[in-house]
């Protein structure tokens, strides 16, 4: 709510993107708390996030693939969004195989933890062993 310092009245800011997402079933209830804290910031964030889709820059099915990838990624893991975007992709004509390919592509994110961590592990083991040998 925004208080008008001249009239003493409070008004809710216009939030057409948030309202549209709520009406379409694409609203994430986890956004409610930061919407309550700052509805204008939330609206700007959603405008930025939805820009490629609302401007028609990306085909709807491709947008759903991107959304599936983001929601299922190991850094996000948002089940309700993943299901919603899988359903929408199927409605837009995506095949089970296309969606599986998206999931397979995203699965490599977890592999990067190993490709980064394994060399570090080997280096630290070598340092530890060298330090242990020097104490003998």
Categorize the per-residue pLDDT at 25 as very low, low, confident or very high, splitting at 50, 70 and 90: confident
Question: Averaged over 87-110, what is the pLDDT?
Answer: 93
Angle made by CA atoms 21, 99, 88, in degrees to the nearest 5: 25
> 47-66: buried (b, 16+ CB within 10 Å) or exposed (e) per residue?
eeeeeebeeeeeeeeebbbe
Asked whether the beta carbons of 44 and 18 are under 8 A apart, the reply is no
Residue 23 confidence (pLDDT): 94
* C-alpha R_g of the chain: 23
- Specify which residues 2 forms β-bridges with: 11
On the question of pLDDT at 94 being above 90, the answer is: yes
* Model pLDDT for residues 102-120, shown as the tens digit of each residue: 999 998 888 877 787 788 8
């Amino acid at each position: 709510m925004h208080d008008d310092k001249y009239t003493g009245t409070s008004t809710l800011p216009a939030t057409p993107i948030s309202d549209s997402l709520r009406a379409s079933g694409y609203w994430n209830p986890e956004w409610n708390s930061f919407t309550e804290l700052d509805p204008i910031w939330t609206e700007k964030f959603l405008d930025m996030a939805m820009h490629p889709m609302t401007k028609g820059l990306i085909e709807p099915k491709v947008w759903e693939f991107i959304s599936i990838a983001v929601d299922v990624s190991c850094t996000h893991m948002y089940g309700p969004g993943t299901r919603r975007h899988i359903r929408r992709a199927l409605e837009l004509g995506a095949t089970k195989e296309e969606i599986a390919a998206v999931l397979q592509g995203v699965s490599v994110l977890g592999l990067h933890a190993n490709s980064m961590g394994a060399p570090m592990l080997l280096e630290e083991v070598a340092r530890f062993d060298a330090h242990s040998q020097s104490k003998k």
